[in-house]
Structure 1
Amino acid sequence: MALATLCWALLLLVGTFADSVKQTERWPRAAAPRTPNCARYHLPGCFKNLDPVCGSDLSTYSNEKTGQDIKIIRDGPC
C-alpha cells in the first residue's frame, strides 16, 4: 500500500514538473524562418523604424531591413 502511494505521488510530481517545463519554454514554436520584407521600409526612415526582429544568427535587429543575409526567425528581440 505504501509503495503504491509512493508511486502515485512520484507520478503526480513528474507530471506537474513536465507541464511546468512546457509552459516556460523560452522559444515558442513559430512558423518557418522568413526572408525579410525590406520593401515595406521606405528610405530614408527605414533604419529609424523600431520593430525588433530576431535573425537566424540569433542577433536582434531593429527592424526587418537588416542589411544582412539572414532569415527572420521570430518577431521581437531574441
Structure 2
Amino acid sequence: MNGSAFDAELDVRQLACPLPILRAKKSLSAMSAGQVLKVVATDKGSPKDFVDFCSKTGNELLSSTEAGGEFVFLIRRR
C-alpha cells in the first residue's frame, strides 16, 4: 500500500461524539489482532476521545493527525 498501511477504513466525518468511538469499536471488533484501522473524523473532540478509547481498550493509537479540519487516526487492534 502507498504511504501508511492499514487494513480497513472508517469514515465518521460529520458524526458527533460518541458515534465515532462506537463505530470504531464495532469496526475493530470485526478485525483480527494486529490489523490497523484508519479512522477519518471531523469531531473536534475526537483526538482526545481516541486517546482515551485506546488507553481504556488496549488498542494502540499509531498516529493522530489533523489536516483541513479532518482528523485521521491509525489504530492497531490488540
Task: Give the structure-1-normalised TM-score.
Answer: 0.26
The one of the two structures with greater contact order (alpha-carbon pairs below 8 A, sep at least 6) is 2
Question: Which of the pair is proportionally richer in strand?
Answer: 2
Task: Give the structure-2-normalised TM-score.
Answer: 0.26
| Higher Cα radius of gyration | 1
